[in-house]
């Protein structure tokens, strides 16, 4: 299995374990994440969750060869990014969180990262666009110009700078992200679960209309890009391990 779960009292640890592919998201991982977060959402004995990867990578994003599978009814893409959650979820980031991997981070409520962790949105380097929430969640979590830089250059943002900009809640030594995220989740569980859920529900309601506009705008951009020659060239170059030759069409 590429997604495993462990119960630690009232905290559910969800771990992505497709190490050979740097946790690139395929159909099996999407199904596993969806099932794990359904468990987190539906079990009243679970008051918080932690989403972690391996020591090398949180997630490299969508598997560009195999694809990430179909969006799930409850979670959307990856079984996560369009989920209507009210149970707090903490991202534990070691290594890279690129593309869809960063969009998983942006879909969480709290972020713990090791010092060597890095975040990136490299889609434009493949002739694609970030279509799983980064278009609007990125500028919400970061200063707008920093989000623009990530979207337009694809260059990574290091964990220390991400912490200084407010994206990361806790910055820890390498190898400690999962343990620190579990500690933060346990701290969350010390407070009243009904109040926790309603707090997240209220925050979600504030942004609900903006998110719908964000998803619509993302879909429009995705439609244009998907029909472009550059999108086909970007994927071909990736598969052939060469530099892309952009046409601008």
Radius of gyration of the chain (CA): 17
Give catalytic status of residue 240 as yes or no: no
198 in active site? no
- Contacts of range 186-193, beta carbons closer than 8 Å, 24 or more positions apart: 186/8, 186/9, 186/11, 186/48, 188/47, 188/48, 188/88, 188/90, 188/110, 189/9, 189/10, 189/11, 189/47, 189/48, 193/44, 193/47
Helices (H), 64-143: 100-107, 134-141
Q: Which of 17, 94, 123, 240 is catalytic?
A: 123
Neighbours of 7 (CB within 10 A): 12
Closest to 246 measured CA to CA, from 223, 217, 225, 220 = 225
Burial of residue 131 (number of CB atoms within 10 Å: 0-12, 13-18, 19+): buried
CA-CA distance, 145 to 129, in Å (whole number)? Answer: 17
d(CA 171, CA 211): 28
Joined tokens for residue 236: 């071909």
Q: Which residue shows structure tokens 């086909």? A: 232
Q: Which of 70, 103, 149, 212 is catalytic?
A: 103
Q: What DSSP element (H or E) covers 76? A: none
Question: How far is residue 135's CA from residue 137's CA, in Å, rounded to a whole number?
Answer: 6
Residues labelled catalytic: 103, 123
């Amino acid at each position: 299995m590429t997604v495993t779960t462990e119960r630690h009292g009232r905290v559910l640890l969800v771990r992505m374990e497709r190490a050979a592919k740097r946790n690139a998201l395929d159909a099996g991982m999407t199904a596993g994440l969806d099932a794990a977060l359904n468990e987190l959402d539906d079990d009243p004995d679970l008051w918080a969750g932690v989403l972690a990867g391996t020591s090398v990578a949180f997630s490299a994003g969508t598997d560009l060869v195999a694809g990430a599978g179909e969006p799930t009814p409850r979670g959307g893409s990856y079984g996560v990014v369009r989920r209507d959650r009210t149970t707090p979820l903490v991202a534990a980031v070691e290594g890279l969180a690129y593309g869809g991997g960063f969009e998983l981070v942006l879909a969480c409520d709290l972020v713990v990262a090791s010092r060597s962790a890095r975040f990136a949105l490299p889609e434009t380097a493949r002739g694609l666009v970030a279509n799983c929430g980064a278009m609007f969640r990125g500028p919400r979590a970061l200063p707008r110009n920093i989000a623009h830089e990530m979207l337009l250059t694809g260059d990574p943002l290091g964990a220390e700078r991400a912490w200084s900009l407010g994206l990361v809640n806790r910055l820890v030594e390498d190898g400690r992200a999962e343990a620190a995220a579990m500690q933060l989740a346990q701290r969350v569980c010390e407070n009243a679960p009904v109040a926790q859920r309603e707090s997240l529900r209220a925050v979600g309601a504030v942004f609900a209309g903006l998110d719908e506009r964000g998803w619509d705008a993302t879909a429009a951009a995705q439609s244009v890009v998907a029909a472009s020659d550059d999108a086909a060239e970007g994927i071909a170059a990736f598969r052939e391990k060469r530099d892309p030759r952009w046409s601008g069409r």
